[in-house]
Amino acid sequence: MSNTMKVAFWEVKKNVTNKSFLISILLTPIIMVIFGGLPSLLSMLEYNQTHTLYVKDEIGIYQELGQYLNQEEIKTVEYNGTLEELKSEGDHKRTSFILLDEEIMEQQQINIHALDDSRPPTNSIRNALNRIVQNRKMEALGLSSEEIKEVDTNILVNIITVKGEEEDFVRKIIPAIFAAMIYFTIFFSGAMTFQSSTQEKKDKMVEILLSSVKPVDLMQGKIIGCFILGMIQVFVWLILGIPIAYFILNIPVIQLLAIKELPLMLFYALAGYLLYSSIFVSLGATIEDVQSQGNFQGMIFLLPMLPIFFFGPIIANPHGVVAKIGSYFPFSTPGVMLLRLSLANSVPVFDIIISIIIIVVTTFFVMKLAGKLFKTAILMYGKNATPQEILKWLKY
């Protein structure tokens, strides 16, 4: 086995036997689910409660109002007393009161009196009342009830793209989630290479290692090792995620993932990983103390976050000028191309070829430079490298 692979497997072993790595593998998706799902889950708890609406009807439309309201959302109760009398009846929860009189017809305005702090479902009440008022007006124009039903329309909107494929939310969201997951992994594995360099320097392991391995083997070993760790992470997530998606959410993830863009997406992810991790691993080698590690880490990890600037415009138009700029700027190429491939039905071949050339060439040169920097920086003890020193070492 080559020394590169020995270093790689050591990185894997060191982390896999580390509890914090195992916990983070399991915790990350749980945290994501919690942050993604909990707010809507919580709001569902509130919104799905039935609201009680006390109606004092002076114009005889109580029955009609009931027809237009979803009884599970709003339970109507006919009430003959006044608002004051209702209030005095004691504690009311999720309750409001309306007075239906001629004023609605004339002024097209109504007050809903909320009896507690919860918000009455004004939209539903407004829609119901709108229809009743419209019906009254049409009746006044002399239309029969059949004719009124004829007038009532509700248009369903579907988007059909020029290429004839029907837009399917699920078909797109799954590759997009997958792409995001790969990108997320790039991020974390990259962070691991950074920490691995810094840690080895802090633990003063470097010299012992370099008496047995070449610096370039050490660096490549770290990059490959952290890549394997990242893949282990993705693998665990897929093993857990696919059955959950299939059996609980009824999404056939595997079929949806088996799209023709998948190999391309994997290519961009891999290129992005090599690009970022070689930057991280070599910059990690310039750092010694924990504090500047924190500061520095925050700064350079903005790099893979670059595509976020392009998100809005790309979602609006996956082939627009912004999307093209993002695809051609090497540090955002992987993220932007992953996004474009998962959003658009097809990305122009020209863009794909150009971006592949750009990312391959950039990665090649960045890895060469990173090797130079790593070789010199990893042996520096006692202080962090200054930007001037880093520049000087790059020129060697």
Give the whole-angstrom CA distance, residue 88 versus residue 115.
11
**Among 30, 353, 379, 391, which residue sits at the site for other proteins (rule: CB under 8 A)?**
379
* 395 near other proteins, judged by CB under 8 A: no
C-alpha distances in Å from residue 33, one per residue of 97, 151, 209, 350: 39, 45, 41, 37
* 209 near other proteins, judged by CB under 8 A: yes
Measured from the CB of residue 189, what is the shortest distance to other proteins in angstroms? 19
C-alpha distances in Å from residue 124, one per residue of 137, 154, 212: 20, 16, 74
Of residues 2 through 41, those in contact with other proteins by CB under 8 A are: 3, 6-7, 10, 13-14, 17-18
* 283 near other proteins, judged by CB under 8 A: no
Give the whole-angstrom CA distance, residue 174 versus residue 379.
45
**Among 49, 145, 212, 317, which residue sits at the site for other proteins (rule: CB under 8 A)?**
212
CB count within 10 Å of CB 44 equals 10
* 381 near other proteins, judged by CB under 8 A: yes
User: Which residues are within 8 A (CB) of 178 and not within 5 positions of it... i.e. 6 or more apart?
Assistant: 257, 265, 342
Binding part of the chain for other proteins, among 21-29, 208-216, 265-273, 344-352 by CB under 8 A, reads 208-216
Give how many residues touch other proteins by CB under 8 A: 23
DSSP state of 59: S
Which residue number, 202 or 372, has a Cβ lying nearer to other proteins? 202
186 within 8 A of 272, measured Cβ to Cβ: yes
Region of 39 on the Ramachandran plot (φ > 0 left; ψ -120 to 50 alpha; else beta)? alpha
Which residue number, 213 or 219, has a Cβ lying nearer to other proteins? 213
User: What character string, x for contact with other proteins (CB under 8 A) and - otherwise, covers 344-363?
Assistant: --------------------
* 203 near other proteins, judged by CB under 8 A: yes
* Percentage helix, strand, coil for the chain under 3-state DSSP, each rounded to 5: 70, 5, 25
User: Which residues are within 8 A (CB) of 18 and not within 5 positions of it... i.e. 6 or more apart?
Assistant: none
* 211 near other proteins, judged by CB under 8 A: yes
**Among 53, 181, 213, 234, which residue sits at the site for other proteins (rule: CB under 8 A)?**
213
- Residues forming the site for other proteins (CB under 8 A): 3, 6-7, 10, 13-14, 17-18, 199-200, 202-205, 207-213, 379, 381
